[in-house]
Amino acid sequence: MLFLAQGMKKKGKDAVKKLNEENLSISYLKIDVTKESSIKTAAKQFAKEYGVLDVLINNAGGNYDYGITPTQSQVDFIKETLELNLLSAWTTTKHFLPLLLKSSFGKIVNVSSGAGSHGDLYFGLATNNGSVASYGISKLALNGLTVKLAAELKDKGILVNSVCPGFTATTPEAKKMGARPVEEGAASVVWGALLEKHGPTGGFFRDGKSIGW
Question: pLDDT tens for residues 179-210?
Answer: 787 888 889 999 999 999 999 999 999 999 99
**Is a pLDDT exceeding 70 seen at residue 8?**
no
pTM, to two decimals: 0.91
Which among 28, 139, 156, 209 is annotated as catalytic? 139
9, 10, 135, 175: the catalytic one is 135
Q: Does residue 18 contact residue 29 with C-beta atoms inside 8 Å?
A: no
Examine the residue annotation and report whether 135 is marked as an active-site residue of this protein.
Answer: yes
For the CA atoms of 203, 207, 212, 213, the dihedral, rounded to the nearest 10 degrees, stands at -70
CA distance 168 to 165: 7
Q: What is the pLDDT of residues 64-102, one digit of tens each?
A: 998 999 999 999 999 999 999 999 999 999 999 999 999
